[in-house]
Amino acid sequence: MQLLVILLILTQQKSGRRHDKRLADKESVFETIPDTIPVYADTAFIGEARVHKNLLLPKKKPKGKVLTYDEKELNRIISSYRVLVEHAIGGVKRYRCVAERLRNRKEYIDDTLLLLSAGLWNYHLAS
């Protein structure tokens, strides 16, 4: 069975190094996703569990203790979904439209190139 990764939200591109949590807060990302949709995130978004009730985060190992088998299994399930997203991001980055500086005069070109790259990656997965 092959899982389908769907791009739900596309935020504005930002130059430089920015933390995902700060950008998500600024764009109100988690407020726009309905609570019926599960969101698999990493531990950087630990505070967003108050905003989105269906947020699934991996469990951190307590200091000096070990995770239980069930906690490890839940972490494996969460990471199996998240790795698909990370691979999709890497596939889109292969087209270099998010890594290179595009010198154009039309503002809509940036978003169009990113969506085109995402479409090409989805086509690659389908074939």
Is residue 13's pLDDT more than 80? no
Q: Look at 67 and 41; give whichever has higher pLDDT.
A: 67
> What pLDDT, on the 0 to 100 scale, is given for residue 70?
95
pLDDT for position 76: 92
As a whole-number percent, the residues of the chain with pLDDT over 70 amount to 75
What are the boundaries of each domain within the chain?
18-57, 63-127
pLDDT value at residue 104: 64
| Both structure tokens of 31 | 């407020």
Provide the pLDDT confidence category of residue 73 given band limits of 50, 70 and 90.
very high
Say yes or no to pLDDT of 1 above 50: no
CA distances from 28 to 14, 104, 113 (A): 15, 29, 24
Parallel, antiparallel or unpaired: strands 39-40 and 55-56: parallel
| pLDDT score of 65 | 94
User: Is 34 exposed, middle or buried (CB count within 10 Å of its CB: 0-12, 13-18, 19+)?
Assistant: exposed
Q: Is 63 left (phi over 0), alpha (psi -120 to 50) or beta?
A: beta
The residues with which 18 forms a beta bridge, in sequence order, are none
